[in-house]
Each structure stands twice: as structure tokens, then as C-alpha cells.
Structure 1
Amino acid sequence: MTTAFNPGFTQYSPVTGLPTLPQGWPIGSYDTYEQAQRAVDHLADKNFPVEGVTIVGIEPMVVERVSARLTWGRVLGAGAASGAWFGLFVGLLLSFFTVGSGLYAILTGLITGVVFGTAFAAMRYGATRGQRDFVSHSQLVARRYDVLTAPANAERGRDLLLQIV
């Protein structure tokens, strides 16, 4: 992999294979990734050499957003639904390849899937002993996003980014 600043320079150390820090001069700093992305898009629209641009997230953090309370009803319902889909899939496969089974294979797969899905969900949730009674989604975000470019293009890049309203 090569950087945008020097096509012959890899972003990974040739000795260890580990990633290296980004290089270049900052030409803009933004509060959100969307704003940084818009800035780079603006540069591309103005025929700026965007091959030499890097968006760097500064001060990364993991944000976990809680979306719901986890209850036995929710756990068992989700387990039954998940098991039902898998059981329906297996039942459909069996009905295609077993002569004369048709609806019986589909219903058997569906019911078996619901039973096993519910049982496994109950065992997983029971094993936590109430230590995690919520549903959440994690996201990696940064406090700010800097746009970097090669030193030779930095002045022109800054001038172009000042044109954004």
C-alpha cells in the first residue's frame, strides 16, 4: 500500500509490517467526519490532487450507545425469532431434497428452530446473571478530524477550503 504523498512510500514499515503515522501538513480541522469528507469532496471538485489527502481522526474513543433494556421476554422472543428463521431455512432445504415431506419438513424445522433458539438464548442470558441487562451498539469516533496533504500542496489546499461556505 502506498501513501498519497509519495507513491513509492508504503504506509506500513517494510521491516515490521506495522502501520506508520500519517504524513503531511494539516489544511483543515473539523468537528465531524462528515464535514471532513465534504472538505475533501470540495477539493476533488476543484481538481486538487486528492490522492495526496488523508483524513485523520484525532483523539479516538469508543462510544457505546444503550438502545434498550434487556428483559427475559425480549431475550426469549429474539431467540425464538432467530431460531425460527434458521429452522425455516433447514425445513425448506429438507422439503426440497426429501420426496413427499413438503409441509411436514418445513413445520418440523420451524418448530425445532424455535425450541432450540429459545433454549440457547435463555442459557446465554442466564449465564450473565444480570450483569448486562441492556442492548447497546459501539462506535469508534474521534474528537476531531484533520485533513492532511503533502507540503507542496498545503497552501493551495487551505485556500480552496476557505472557499467552503
Structure 2
Amino acid sequence: MSTAAFRPTNSIPSLPTMPNGWPIGSYDTYAEAQQAVDYLADANFPVQDVTIVGVEPLLVERVAGRLSWSRVLTTGAASGAWFGLFVGLLLSMFAAGGGFAWGPILVGLLTGTFFGVVFAAMNYGATRGRRDFVSHSQIVARRYDVLCQPRQAEAARNLLAKLSIGMPAAQAVSQS
């Protein structure tokens, strides 16, 4: 049996690999790099030959607010209550007697609230004040390079030059 039958049909590697291709543009933001690739796609360019590469990645953690015992316990109670309400609703649907039952909903709500508060307190207490804030992490890059396979790099550069002067993609295709 031929090994060619087992080769993937697309060119996306299954393992992490270094990108290859020639640089056709460099942008300060991901949105600009994405706009460049979208422009190429609008001009019927074979974008499967294009890769966006974030250069010099950074982990940015933006602090959203301060944590306190009251905030932790309130958040724990709210999330526990929602989960308990969900479980209670499920249990009430299958309650004996065939009718709608409020008992399982109330028990689920109270039990969920209790355990939400307990687990939130345990988690926050385990930090011992070393992390008294809430934050959101994001990976960003200093710049975003757009690479293209060598066979199409020159055509891609020419199209992106037309983007930089503000020419619509449809007009850029008709002039090629």
C-alpha cells in the first residue's frame, strides 16, 4: 500500500513547525495583517500560500479589578446558584408525580449557592493574599509579518502595494 494515501491533503502541519515563505508585508497590529490577507483573498489570490506570523510574542496580563472576600463570596454564591438552579430544573423535570415540582429547584438553588461559596472561599483562602486581583491574559506580538510561498511572493507584494495606496481589490485584479 502506498504511503501517499496517508498524506494529509492540506498543507497545515500537524506538529508545531517554523513558518516558511518570503516576507510580503509587515504590520504593527494583527488587524492590519488580517486586512492585508483579506485584501489578497478579495483579489482572488491563492491565500493558502500565505501565513501571518506574530514576531516577538508577549504575554500581556491586564488587571481588571481588586479581589476582596466580599467579591469572592458573592461571585461564588452567584455561580453556585446558577449551577444549582440548572441541576434543580433537571431534577424537577424527572420528579415523581409527572407534574412540575418546585422542591428540587429550591434544593438545587440552595445547595449550589452553599457549595459555590464554600469552594470560592477555599480557593481564595489558599492564595493567602498573594493574588488579590482579577486579570485577563492575552498573547500579543510586537509586529505581524505576512509570509508567502516563493512562487507567489512577487504577485502578493504587488497586490499589497496597491492596498497601501488605497486601490480596491477588484480594481487591482483588473489591472494585473
Normalized against structure 1, the TM-score is what?
A: 0.87
Matches within 5 A, 1:34-49: 34-49=31-46
Q: Which residue of 2 aligns with 1:123?
A: 122
CA distance in 1, matches of 2:48, 2:70: 52
Given residue 94 of structure 1, which amino acid in structure 2 is its aligned partner? L
Q: Which residue of 2 aligns with 1:138?
A: 137
Given residue 149 of structure 1, which amino acid in structure 2 is its aligned partner? C
Q: Which residue of 1 aligns with 2:61?
A: 64
For residue 60 of structure 2, give the secondary structure of its aligned residue in structure 1: strand
Deviation string 1:75-113 (CA, Å, 9 cap, x unpaired) is 001100011011111211221222258112111111111
Shift of 1:126: 0.7
Q: Which residue of 1 aligns with 2:76?
A: 79
CA distance in 1, matches of 2:94, 2:13: 52
**Root mean square deviation, CA, Å:** 1.5
CA distance in 2, matches of 1:128, 1:31: 38
Given residue 151 of structure 1, which amino acid in structure 2 is its aligned partner? P
CA distance in 2, matches of 1:44, 1:90: 47
For residue 130 of structure 2, give the secondary structure of its aligned residue in structure 1: coil
Structure 2 residue corresponding to 1:22, chosen from 7, 12, 19: 19
Q: Which residue of 2 aligns with 1:108?
A: 107
CA distance in 2, matches of 1:104, 1:155: 71
Matched, 1:11 2:17: no
Normalized against structure 2, the TM-score is what?
A: 0.82
How many residue pairs align between the two structures? 154
Q: Which residue of 2 aligns with 1:50?
A: 47
CA distance in 1, matches of 2:54, 2:141: 5
Shift of 1:11: 2.9
CA distance in 1, matches of 2:107, 2:45: 62
Q: Which residue of 2 aligns with 1:92?
A: 89
Unaligned runs of 5+ in 2: 1-7, 167-176
CA distance in 1, matches of 2:144, 2:37: 12
Q: Which residue of 1 aligns with 2:150?
A: 151
CA distance in 1, matches of 2:121, 2:129: 12
Given residue 162 of structure 1, which amino acid in structure 2 is its aligned partner? A
Deviates more, 1:126-135 or 1:94-103: 94-103
Report runs of 4+ in structure 1 exceeding 4 Å deviation. none
Shift of 1:159: 1.2
Identity, in percent, stands at 66
CA distance in 2, matches of 1:45, 1:113: 51
